[in-house]
Amino acid sequence: MTRLVAALERMSPAPLSAPDFAAADAFVWHASPDRLDPVPVVSRVELDLLVGIDRSRDVLLDNTRRFADGLPANNALLWGARGMGKSSLVKAAHARVNRDRADPLVLVEIQREDLPSIGRLLTHLRAAAERRFLLFCDDLSFDKDDAHYKSLKAVLDGGVEGRPGNVIFYATSNRRHLMPRDMIENERSTAISPSEATEEKVSLSDRFGLWLGFHACAQDQYLAMIRGYCDAYGIEIDDEDLRAEAIEWRQTRGSVSGRVAWQFVTDLAGRRGVRIG
């Protein structure tokens, strides 16, 4: 009997007790077992240090602020080039909106592999009706035979209950339609009804009211990012040396992006004995 009870408890774990959302303004959702862990210090950069994404910054910040104020706002998909600040913008916008707010917007991060549990998470967020939540999934994408996208529809206006009024959903992805282009074309070309073959998956991205595109940056933007970081963190280097070292760094990396710029600044700060953490 004891073994049977233990087995049943593993199959049907006890429901999550109501989290203390006053403990932090950011949490991470874990589905096994269900729990919301507070994040005392969020890893992020200041909004003003994000260079070359002015339009996306302004649109997302305005959308986030409206939602935090209880006004209508859209779910947002930030898609495009790797390392260009998509997830950094979400976290920076959250911090900026919460500046001097008595009722902070709560950031809740969910991993892609935990999407099947999103219904249970929404139940907890819906119950905390006095708080407002920014639900965030980084690097969202789906491959062939991946059914996780069906779970996501619960938060993107689908289902009987729909999205809770106190929850908004932001996701980042390298893919505009959340699935590989060759997979889309392959399914369309081999299906009996090509127009319907991928409609269910492709329409998922259409459920985001905001699409914000991020494109690879030019070298001048890359150098401007580095200069901004250096000025912000007190790393002294003249423009000529910065340009020479930064260009050499990005050549060894084989790409130009905000991520590469930050990696260079991290290396530069370490070599010059400057703490940036």
Q: Which two tokens stand for residue 47?
A: 């909004």
Which residue reads 């429901």 in tokens? 15
Q: Are 265 and 226 in contact (CB under 8 A)?
A: yes
Task: Give the pLDDT band of residue 25 (cuts 50, 70, 90).
Answer: very high
Question: In which band, very low, low, confident or very high, does the pLDDT at 154 lie, cut at 50, 70 and 90?
Answer: low
Assess contact for 22 and 40: CB atoms under 8 A.
no
Q: How far apart are CA 31 and CA 182, in angstroms?
A: 32
More confident residue, 181 or 229: 229
Check pLDDT > 80 for residue 133: yes
Q: Assign 5 a pLDDT band (cuts: 50, 70, 90).
A: very low
> What would the mean pLDDT of 164-181 be, rounded to a whole number?
83
Q: What distance in Å separates the CA atoms of residue 3 and residue 99, rounded to the nearest whole number?
A: 51
pLDDT in tens, 182-193: 544 454 454 445
Give me the mean pLDDT over the 216-227 stretch.
94
Higher pLDDT, 149 or 200: 149
Task: Look at residue 245 and tell me whether its pLDDT is greater than 90.
Answer: yes
Report whether pLDDT(194) > 60. Answer: no
Per-residue pLDDT, 146:
61
Q: Which of 29-38, 64-73, 264-273 is the least confident region?
A: 29-38
- The tokens describing 245, both together, are 């070292």
Tell me the average pLDDT of the chain: 84
* pLDDT for 192: 46
Instruction: Give the pLDDT mean for 136-158.
Output: 73
Strands (E), the chain: 26-31, 34-38, 76-80, 106-109, 133-137, 167-173, 210-214
Q: Which amino acid is at 61?
A: L
Cα-flanking dihedrals φ and ψ of residue 106, to 5°?
-100, 125
Tens digit of each residue's pLDDT (9 = 90 or more) over 61-108: 999 999 999 999 999 999 998 889 999 999 999 999 999 888 999 999
Rounded to whole angstroms, the Cα distance separating 176 from 261 reads 24
Give the residue from 274, 178, 177, 187 showing the smallest Cα distance to 231. Answer: 274
Tell me: pLDDT of 197 over 90. Answer: no
